[in-house]
Amino acid sequence: MSLNLRTLDDIDLQNKKVFLRVDFNIPINNGVVGDCTRIEASLPTIREIRQKGGRIALFSHLGRPNGCVNPKYSLKPLIKVLEQYFPNTSIIFKDGDYIQNPENFWKNTDENTIILAENIRFYEDEEKNDIGFAKKLAQLADIVVNDAFATCHRSHASIVAITQFLPSFAGRLLESELTSLYHFYIQGKQPFMAMIGGAKISSKIEVLKKIIPKIQILGIGGGMANTFLLAQGYSIGKSLAESGQISIAKDILQQCQKSNKKVILPIDVVVAEELSPNTKVTIKSIDELSENDCIFDIGPKTIALLKNALNESKTLLWNGPLGAFETKPFDQGTHQFAQYATLLTKEKKITSITGGGDSVAALTTLGLEKDFSYVSTGGGAFLEWIEGRIMPGLEVLFKNNPASCAILF
Ligand code: ADP
Ligand code: MG
């Protein structure tokens, strides 16, 4: 499948100074760097550019510093991490107002150097997609390569406006995210099951609407299932729910019924009075909840139903944890479903796709992320892609007609 995307195959990289936009927005707490999956995902791009004679300056954001310099959001702790991946290379960190002196930017660098620029969101104009700022960024390099798939849904200067001033190309991670989505999602074999969880229905409505025509089975879990249970007339005690979304939940259930899609909602749940590890936990059928109960996970009968549904499926799209997995024992629904999905994946009975910040964090905690057929690094961008939105950061990377990226949805 040809993506019509401008990639590293379309440029001579020899002696080019490359503005490489990556998404290194990874957990850093008090200088301690957490999960490095996103860094590892961009290593092939970094290596290929260097092998082909290009020189690299890495640009990323970290968190939401709101346009202010804030040491809490500094990328400095990544110097050591990069030094481990590139032992014979010196990593030069650029902080301060580096865009004011473009002539100094590459000073004292050679093919054995990688520049790491400080958090691009320390400049307030980044998130404004400011043209003047983008022009200054563009003065730092000869070409721009975007490998930050996870930021492509943002109209920010280092993602969008900069492409007005420099020839721009997709990095290998971005390219592979798109080809994988096409291969695993668009061309996913039927029967297709979607398992949607997470805290809120409001953040998943567009995803739900978009996937219904594609799937045969819809599993609903997590906090968002509570609003569906309300829509079906159950009492859910003090559980998290969005009363304003009940009519949408009803619409979605109706849409599934009309088009003969199987919907699996929790039939039993794990309840407690509060979300804490030492709290008293009870498993209840969905029609026996009392007014102080809070649902924090799906129950064993529901897990069994979902496993059966997986047995009937050839493709699984999963987004959203099935319970408040961060607090034990409410991780069981997520854990057992993930374990079964990875088992069937290993046995080549299903193809499994997942994405979403918390979903991937849950899988990583369980050590199961490598056993899915495809795990997107995309988070919010992954969800927007599923929703069928044309993301601003992608649009600018397509050849000829930017709208040609629409063929991907
Ligand atoms: P993703 O980032 O993968 O798209 P979401 O952000 O939609 O996922 O949802 C993840 C959050 O949902 C997690 O923090 C989890 O604790 C929460 N959650 C899931 N089920 C429940 C529940 N029953 N009650 C409260 N929170 C829940
Ligand atoms: Mg989330």
Q: How far is the C-alpha of 397 from the C-alpha of 145, rounded, in Å?
A: 9
Ligand closest to 197 (CA) is 1
Name the residue among 398, 163, 208 with its Cα closest to residue 407: 398
Ordered DSSP codes for 284-298? EETT---TT-EEEEE
Q: Catalytic one among 6, 16, 21, 38?
A: 38
Instruction: Give the pLDDT confidence score for residue 76 in this predicted structure.
Output: 97
369 or 58: which leads in pLDDT: 58
Active site residue: 357, 388, 389, 399, which one?
Answer: 357
Whether 225 shows a pLDDT value over 60: the answer reads yes
pLDDT tens for residues 256-281?
999 999 999 999 999 999 999 889 99
Mean pLDDT along residues 42-51: 98
User: Phi, psi (5° rounding) for residue 50?
Assistant: -70, -45
Per-residue pLDDT at 407: 47
Burial code of 90-107, b = ≥16 C-beta within 10 A, e = fewer?
ebbebeeebbeeeeebbe
Average pLDDT over residues 113-120: 98
Quick: pLDDT tens for 350-402.
999 999 989 998 998 899 989 999 999 999 999 999 999 999 999 999 876 55
Which numbered ligand comes closest to the C-alpha of 361?
Answer: 1
pTM summary value: 0.91
| Binding pocket residue ranges, ligand 1, CB within 6 Å | 197-199, 203, 222-223, 240, 295-296, 319-321, 323-326, 356-359
Instruction: Give the pLDDT confidence of 181-205 residue by residue, as tens digits.
Output: 999 999 999 999 999 999 999 999 9
Taking only the tens place, the pLDDT of each residue in 70-97 is 999 999 999 999 999 999 999 999 999 9
| Cα of 319 from ligand 2 centre, angstroms | 9
**Is residue 38 annotated as a catalytic residue, yes or no?**
yes
Segment 99-105 mean pLDDT = 93
Catalytic site includes residue 200 = yes
* Nearest ligand 1 atom to alpha carbon 362: 3
Q: What is the DSSP string of 199-234?
A: S-STTTHHHHHHHGGG-SEEEE-TTHHHHHHHHTT-
Strand order in the sheet with 192-196: 262-264, 217-220, 192-196, 315-319, 351-354, 374-375
What is the percentage of the chain residues whose pLDDT exceeds 70? Answer: 97
Distance 357 CA to ligand 2 centre (A): 5
Ligand index nearest the alpha carbon of residue 222: 1
Asked if residue 409 has pLDDT above 70, the reply is: no
- Which single residue is written with the structure tokens 């290379």? 89
- State pLDDT tens for residues 133-169: 999 999 999 999 999 999 999 999 999 999 999 999 9
Q: Which DSSP letter does residue 157 get?
A: T
The residue to mutate among 358, 363, 382, 383, having the most atoms of ligand 1 within 8 angstroms of its beta carbon, is 358
pLDDT, residue 277, reads 86
- Residue 55: the pLDDT is 97
In the reported structure, the alpha carbon of residue 112 is separated from the centroid of ligand 2 by a whole-number distance in angstroms of: 38
User: Residues 87, 31: contact at Cβ < 8 Å?
Assistant: no
Number of residues that this document lists for the chain:
409
Average pLDDT, the chain: 94
Give CA–CA dist 157/273, Å, rounded. 46
Phi (first) and psi of residue 149, to 5 degrees: -50, -40
Tokens of 16: 């080019």
Question: How much is the pLDDT for 145?
Answer: 98
Half-sphere exposure of 223 (CA within 13 A, CB side): 18
pLDDT tens digits, residue range 298-354?
999 999 999 999 999 999 999 999 999 999 999 999 999 999 999 999 999 999 999
What was the pLDDT predicted at 323?
A: 97
Residue 1 has pLDDT above 60, yes or no: no
Whose CA is closest to atom 7 on ligand 1? 198
